[in-house]
Amino acid sequence: MPPPNTHLQLSDWITAISTAATAIAATFAGIIAWLSLRRAARAPLPIFEPRFHWSTSEPTIGLLQLSLVIRNHLDEAIVVDAVTVKRPRGMTVCSMKYNGYGGAEIKITTDRSSNLGWGVGPPGDYASQAFGGPQRKDVAYQNLYFSVPEGWTGGKAIVVFRVSSMALTIRDKRITITRQVPVAPKTQTEAKASSAD
């Protein structure tokens, strides 16, 4: 009986060990990729602090105003690209054009969406000013105006903002704002007058 071929057995062991090592390395790489994906998904999104209220000053009387504070918590600058109205049906975004005197010209449109292009810097970002000291760039204060459909005096309003980061760590992230809008002041006055009669 011939002796067993020990050379072939050794090569079989080497093949088995290298296959196992490859499988372990592939599993480890998969775990690292999964953890990286989870970390990216948990990236701190910007914080939107919204407040809907009815405008009571000229030239925007009767328009619904959304006052926003946007705080960036990413380590890079972000851009609030656009806003889209979801509710109420028929509400549209007014266009704003700033003049050179610190004011804005507001026009009622039929558009439910509007491009914004608001930039917000990373945490700790400041810009120097000639007067008043440094200005924070990681917080933005913005106002939007909406034209509401005829007969709508208050209720649920839903708007969606699209946000991206400059380095595309987040891309086209949607931030939905849902708020209960109080009854319009004119409607409140009319209701009090009718109840007094």
Residue pair 73/85 in contact by the 8 Å Cβ criterion: no
Transcribe 101-144 into DSSP letters.
TS-EEEE--S-SEEEEEEEEPPTT-EE--SSSS-EESSEEEEEE
Q: What residues does 176 pair with on adjacent strands?
A: 160
pLDDT at 11: 75
Residue pair 170/164 in contact by the 8 Å Cβ criterion: yes
Low-confidence ranges of the chain (pLDDT < 70): 1-8, 36-44, 100, 102, 128-133, 168-169, 186-197
Quick one: which H or E segment has residue 80?
strand 78-87
Q: DSSP assignment, residue 189?
A: H
pLDDT at 2: 54
pLDDT at 66: 94
Give residue-wise pLDDT tens across range 46-100.
889 999 999 887 777 889 999 999 998 888 889 999 999 999 999 999 988 777 6
CA–CA distance from 123 to each of 44, 75, 91, 128, 134 (Å)? Answer: 11, 7, 34, 16, 14
pLDDT at 133: 66
Cis bond leading into 44, ω under 30°? no
pLDDT at 141: 92
Q: What backbone torsions phi and psi does residue 30 show, to the nearest 5 degrees?
A: -65, -40
pLDDT at 25: 85
